[in-house]
Amino acid sequence: MIAQVLLYEVVLKYGLPERLISDNGSSYISDAMTLVLKQLGISRALTSVEHPQTDGSVERFSRTLKTSIAIVVGQEPNTWCEYLPFVTFAYNTAVQSSTQLTPFRIMHGRDSVIPLFPSVQVDYKDKDAVYKWGRFLNRTVPLTHSKAITNIKKAQAHQQNQYKHSRRVQGTYNPGDLVARRNVKVGGFPKQRWIGPWVIMKATNKDNTAYQIYNKKNPTSVSKANIGDLMKWYSH
């Protein structure tokens, strides 16, 4: 399914990407996906629990999307697929804090016409002249991308400082510590945000940002977790 989405919704609409960055979910490392990537010449980079910041922007988008859908569907969560295209469009036409631009403008070189206001047209001079439109795109798209890159670098520097500060505040864990783990397996409508207790076994990297843990109620259940998905366990 993911391989079909990549082919029909990405490649055939926007052309070949140079690289696909994803986690190691079964859909992304399946034989079908591997074959499609190989035939299309797309390289692949897998993120790990030790360094989830690699696809941090995707994770943030997913959280924003889930929150937005939850607000829209209200008490009818099974209708989320009906609202998904509209919520996605709203995101793509909203100015992002990292780029100070809309994703739509970065992709297409122009602002979108909002369906609720079809009479509001983007005012481009001689927009019917194809060659002038081409000159407009050739001039504005590079400037738009350059501005977006500059703003992204500023946002990344700010996020890095925030991350370092949160690390100092959060601290680290020692073997035997009891922790709660963020519940990430319940989709966009979590019934319980944190689950546990889990027991710290050891840090799995030098930065102490990822840990091997086991479920206290089921010691054979061992896994890895990033420090951002852990918090001190408080017994009730």
Of 231 and 125, the structure prediction assigns the larger pLDDT to 231
Percentage of the chain exceeding pLDDT 70 = 74
Least reliable range by pLDDT among 12-21, 31-40, 148-157: 148-157
Flag whether pLDDT at 50 surpasses 80: no
Per-residue confidence band for 127, with pLDDT thresholds at 50, 70 and 90: very low
Percentage of the chain exceeding pLDDT 90 = 12
Cβ proximity of 65 and 58 under 8 Å: no
CB atoms within 10 A of CB 196: 21
Flag whether pLDDT at 213 surpasses 80: yes
Query: What pLDDT is stored for residue 53 in this prediction?
Result: 58
Flag whether pLDDT at 195 surpasses 80: yes
Of 121 and 60, the structure prediction assigns the larger pLDDT to 60
Rounded-to-integer distance, Cα 191 and Cα 73, Å: 16
Domain 177-232 falls in which CATH fold? Answer: SH3 type barrels. (2.30.30)
Flag whether pLDDT at 190 surpasses 50: no
Query: What pLDDT is stored for residue 14 in this prediction?
Result: 87
Instruction: Look at the alpha carbons of 38, 43, 49, 52 in this order and tell me if their dihedral is positive or negative.
Output: negative
Rounded-to-integer distance, Cα 198 and Cα 152, Å: 36
Least reliable range by pLDDT among 69-78, 117-126, 161-170, 217-226: 117-126
| Chain mean pLDDT for the chain | 78
Range 101-116 average pLDDT: 80
Each domain of the chain, given as residue ranges in start order, spans 95-119+130-169, 177-232
Query: What pLDDT is stored for residue 164 in this prediction?
Result: 62
pTM strictly above 0.95: no
Flag whether pLDDT at 64 surpasses 90: no
